[in-house]
């Protein structure tokens, strides 16, 4: 590890958090928790009786997610150097060597899958689907070639609540699938907002994001389409109550209004930043409300 410039445990830990894209990691682990708590609530299974399986799934899925994010950083290290948003990542600035990042990403992924072997087939299956779509189909194959790479990436994100739910019950039923569908749809406007916000970065690095390939105006139309698709989703989760349906509907309408304002804006960077922040708040409130109602 002679190429590593990190010299103190504090700096090493800081760079490790950056390597797993701290906030991205958290927003992918939270749906696992939400799916688990919701499954416990819907299936009337006491949480206290499932603590072992809960922690095994949480730790295993966290390792798998972290490993996938590390492998993404390893593969895109040279391109990340060209982007303001990512050039300070340890895989791009030389704090961690590419060999170290690759080794750590593979090791962490394998360790996560080994831990998940102690759960059940569905938990392992959804974890593998998420990892495979993000690492192989999104990072290695489509992100630099096709503007619809966002759809592939969204598949990897939407299986996370199914991982948590499957610990206690089969995920092949309406509520967990609707939860996964909401997260799938959410990722589209969320990612498009980032792509518009960082348009110059993605263009410079050569990523085939929709705004770069087809233009910002077309991206805004796609973004609005997906937001409209979110409107009926909470109504399929009526077992969570009228408050949940009303709360999510108001959040969705607010996001649509903000999206429409983008067609008349003169400052697309500012608008895209507001869209991005709203998307993060939207998802956090969605997941937290599920967890709170399930406890």
pLDDT at 5: 47
Q: What percent of the chain has pLDDT over 70?
A: 98
* pLDDT(48) > 80: no
Residue 5 belongs to a domain: no
Angstrom distance (rounded) from CA 13 to CA 11:
5
The total number of structural domains that make up the chain: 1
* pLDDT(4) > 70: no
Residue 192 belongs to a domain: yes
Residue 2 belongs to a domain: no
Residue 128 belongs to a domain: yes
* pLDDT(137) > 80: yes
Angstrom distance (rounded) from CA 128 to CA 21:
20
Residue 51's pLDDT band (cuts 50, 70, 90): confident
pLDDT at 224: 98
Residue 7's pLDDT band (cuts 50, 70, 90): low
Q: Which two tokens stand for residue 268?
A: 């697309």
Helix axes 149-158, 174-197, angle to 10 degrees: 140
Mean pLDDT (the chain) is 94
Given a contact cutoff of 8 angstroms between Cβ atoms, the answer to whether 268 and 259 are in contact is no
Residue 229 belongs to a domain: yes
Region 54-62 average pLDDT: 95
Region 188-194 average pLDDT: 98
Q: What is the pLDDT of residues 98-115, one digit of tens each?
A: 999 999 999 999 999 999
Q: What percent of the chain has pLDDT over 90?
A: 90
Angstrom distance (rounded) from CA 246 to CA 225:
21
Angstrom distance (rounded) from CA 163 to CA 130:
9
Residue 42's pLDDT band (cuts 50, 70, 90): very high
Nearest to 152 by CA among 105, 188, 182, 128: 188
Residue 144 belongs to a domain: yes
Cβ-proximal residues to 37 (8 Å cutoff; 6+ apart), any chain = 47, 164, 290, 291, 294, 295
Lowest mean pLDDT among 7-16, 101-110, 177-186, 232-241: 7-16
pLDDT at 165: 96
CATH code, domain with 149: 1.10.600
Cβ-proximal residues to 210 (8 Å cutoff; 6+ apart), any chain = 147, 148, 150, 192, 195, 218, 219, 222
Residue 6 belongs to a domain: no
pLDDT at 295: 79
Q: What is the pLDDT of residues 143-181, one digit of tens each?
A: 999 999 999 999 999 999 999 999 999 999 999 999 999
Angstrom distance (rounded) from CA 159 to CA 162:
5
- With H, G, I as helix, E, B as strand and everything else as coil, classify residue 142: helix
Region 253-273 average pLDDT: 96
Q: How would you class 99 by CB atoms within 10 Å of its CB: exposed for 0-12, middle for 13-18, buried for 19 or more?
A: exposed
Given a contact cutoff of 8 angstroms between Cβ atoms, the answer to whether 31 and 126 are in contact is no
Helix (H) or strand (E) holding 106: helix 98-116
Q: Which two tokens stand for residue 16?
A: 């490790």
Given a contact cutoff of 8 angstroms between Cβ atoms, the answer to whether 285 and 250 are in contact is no
Region 262-274 average pLDDT: 95
Q: Which two tokens stand for residue 286?
A: 């969605």
Question: What is the reported pTM?
Answer: 0.94
Q: How far is CA 200 from the centre of its chain?
A: 23
| Domain extent at residue 278 | 11-294
Region 184-193 average pLDDT: 98
Angstrom distance (rounded) from CA 289 to CA 119:
26
Residue 1 belongs to a domain: no
Higher pLDDT pick, 28 / 53: 28
């Amino acid at each position: 590890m002679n190429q590593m410039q990190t010299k103190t445990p504090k700096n090493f830990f800081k760079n490790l958090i950056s390597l797993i894209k701290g906030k991205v990691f958290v927003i992918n682990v939270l749906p696992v928790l939400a799916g688990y708590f919701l499954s416990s609530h819907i299936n009337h299974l006491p949480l206290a009786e499932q603590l072992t399986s809960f922690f095994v799934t949480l730790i295993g899925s966290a390792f798998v997610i972290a490993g996938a994010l590390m492998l993404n950083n390893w593969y895109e290290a040279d391109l990340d150097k060209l982007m303001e948003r990512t050039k300070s990542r340890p895989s791009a600035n030389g704090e961690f060597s590419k060999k170290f990042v690759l080794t750590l990403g593979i090791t962490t992924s394998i360790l996560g899958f080994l831990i998940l072997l102690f759960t059940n087939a569905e938990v392992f299956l959804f974890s593998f689907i998420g990892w495979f779509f993000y690492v192989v189909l999104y990072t290695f194959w489509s992100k630099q070639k096709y503007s619809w790479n966002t759809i592939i990436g969204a598949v990897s994100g939407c299986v996370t609540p199914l991982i948590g739910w499957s610990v206690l019950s089969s995920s092949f039923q309406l509520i967990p699938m609707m939860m996964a569908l909401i997260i799938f749809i959410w990722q589209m406007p969320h990612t498009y907002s980032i792509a518009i916000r960082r348009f110059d970065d993605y263009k410079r690095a050569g990523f085939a994001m929709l705004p770069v390939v087809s233009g910002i105006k077309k991206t805004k139309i796609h973004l609005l389409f997906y937001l409209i698709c979110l409107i009926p989703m909470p109504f399929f989760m009526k077992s969570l109550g009228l408050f949940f349906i009303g709360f999510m509907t108001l959040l969705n309408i607010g996001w649509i209004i903000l999206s429409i304002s983008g067609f008349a804006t003169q400052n697309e960077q500012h608008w895209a930043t507001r869209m991005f922040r709203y998307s993060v708040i939207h998802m956090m409130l969605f997941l937290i409300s599920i967890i709170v109602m399930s406890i």
